Amino acid sequence: MDQVSRVYKNNPSTLDLHINCNYTSANMPKIHPESEVLIIKRLKTRSTADVADTFNVSQHQVQRIKKRFEETGDIFDKPRSGRPRKTTAREDRLLARKSKASPFSTAAVLHETWSPEVPVSTKTVCRILSRNGLHGRISAQKPSLNKRQLKNRVAFAKAHSLLKGWTLEKWQKVDFSDESSVELHHSCHKFCRRPTGARMDPRSTQKTVKFGGRKIMVWGYIQYGGVREICRVEGNINSLKYQEILATSYIPNHKRGQILQQDGAPSHTSISTSKFLKAKKIKMLQDWPAQSPDMNIIEHMWGRMKEDAWKTKPKNIDELWEACKTAFFAIPDEFINKLYESLPNRMDAVLQAHGSHTRY
C-alpha cells in the first residue's frame, strides 16, 4: 500500500478537503500534509497547472511535491542533519560548570575564560547555556544569613506553625511593624545566570544591606482588616524617638489583646523601650528572628508603596514623602488580608527551606 492509499484509508474525509495552508510569509504558504496527499492524487488525472489552480498554489510548489514523492515515495521531508556543532559535549559541560560556579558572570565574561577548540561567538555561548537550563535572570535580593540566624528562623517557624496552634485567627491578632528606607531614585537589580527553579539559591541571590543616597525613613504598621499607619522619621531612630513614634502613631489605635511584632533593632529591644511597652501594657511577639523580611508581611506593603510612589517621579524628598503616604493608604484592605492569610504558608516555607530564603 503506497503513501497516498494509507492516508486515504486512515482519513476518508480527505476526499472532500480543500487546500489547507499555514502562511509563514506572504509568498510561501506551508501546505498541510493532507493537502499534499490530495495534490498527489489529483496529479494522476490532471496537469500540474490545473492542480495548482484548483488548490490556489504555485506550479513550482506542485512540482516540488510531485518530485519529492517520486524520489522518496513519501510526502514528508527527510530529517536534516542541521548545522554541524562547533563544540563538543565535554566543552559544553565545562562551560556549564563555569557558569554554575560563577552565576553572576555574563556570557561575555564566560566566553573570555572558556577555551573551546573552535572559536565561537557570545551568542553561541548563550545558546549552550540555555540548552543546559542556565537562563539569564534578574537576581533576587535577599539578606545574608549566617548559621545562627538560620537556626533562629527555623526555631521561630516551628514555634509559630499550624501544629503549634498558630492559625489564621491567631495571626489576625498580630500587628506587623517595621521601618523602611525609601530612596528618591530606584536602585537596579543585578543580572545573574541560574537554572530554572533556583531563584532562591544562596549563590544566585543578590545580598543586600539595610539602608544606604538621597532618601527618607518611614515607620509604619498594619492590622488585619486594613487598619494602618505611617509616619516619617527624621534622622536615626534611637530608643526615645522610637517610643515617641509608638506613642503618637501606634498606641492611639492599639486594641486590647493585639500583639505587636517588631524586629530586633537596638531601639526596639533596649531596656527603656521594654519598660515603656510594659507600662503601656502592650504584648510583644517574642523571639522574632533577625534578617527575616520574608516573614514580615509589611515588607510587601513597602514594596508596593515604593513602586507606586516612584511612578509619580518625585523631584525631591518632600514630594517623595507625600507620594509614599498617598500610595500607602491607597493599598486595598484585601491586599493586607491576603498577606495575613499567607502567614501559615510562610512558616511552612521557612521550615522546608531549613531556615534559608523563601519565595516570599
329 closest CA partner among 251, 218, 241, 174: 218
Give the list of residues 6+ apart from residue 70 with CB closer than 8 angstroms, or none: none
The whole-number pLDDT of residue 189 equals 58
The whole-number pLDDT of residue 84 equals 83
The whole-number pLDDT of residue 172 equals 95
Tens-place pLDDT, residues 135-159: 888 777 788 889 999 999 999 999 9
> Cell 545580598, residue?
207
The whole-number pLDDT of residue 29 equals 61
For residue 139 the three cell numbers come to: 537576581
Using a CB cutoff of 8 Å and minimum separation of 24, what contacts does 120-124 make? 120/86, 120/87, 124/86, 124/87
Tell me if residue 30 falls in helix, strand or coil.
strand
Q: Are strands 21-23 and 29-31 parallel, antiparallel or unpaired?
A: antiparallel
- Cα distance between residue 250 and residue 229, in whole Å: 8
pLDDT at 169 over 90: yes
Q: Are strands 141-143 and 206-208 parallel, antiparallel or unpaired?
A: parallel
Beta strands per DSSP E along the chain: 21-23, 29-31, 134-138, 141-143, 174-183, 191-195, 206-208, 215-222, 228-233, 259-261, 283-284
Q: How confident is the model at residue 41 (pLDDT cuts 50, 70, 90)?
A: confident
The whole-number pLDDT of residue 214 equals 84
Q: How confident is the model at residue 36 (pLDDT cuts 50, 70, 90)?
A: confident
What does pLDDT average to over the chain? 85
pLDDT at 323 over 60: yes
Radius of gyration of the chain (CA): 32
Partners of 208 in beta bridges: 143
- Cα distance between residue 47 and residue 88, in whole Å: 50
355 closest CA partner among 291, 296, 297: 291
The whole-number pLDDT of residue 211 equals 43
Tens-place pLDDT, residues 257-280: 999 999 989 999 999 999 999 999
The whole-number pLDDT of residue 339 equals 96
Highest mean pLDDT among 50-54, 73-77, 286-290, 335-339 belongs to 335-339
In terms of pTM, does the model score above 0.85? no
pLDDT at 255 over 80: yes
Please, are residues 260 and 175 in contact by the beta-carbon 8 Å criterion?
yes
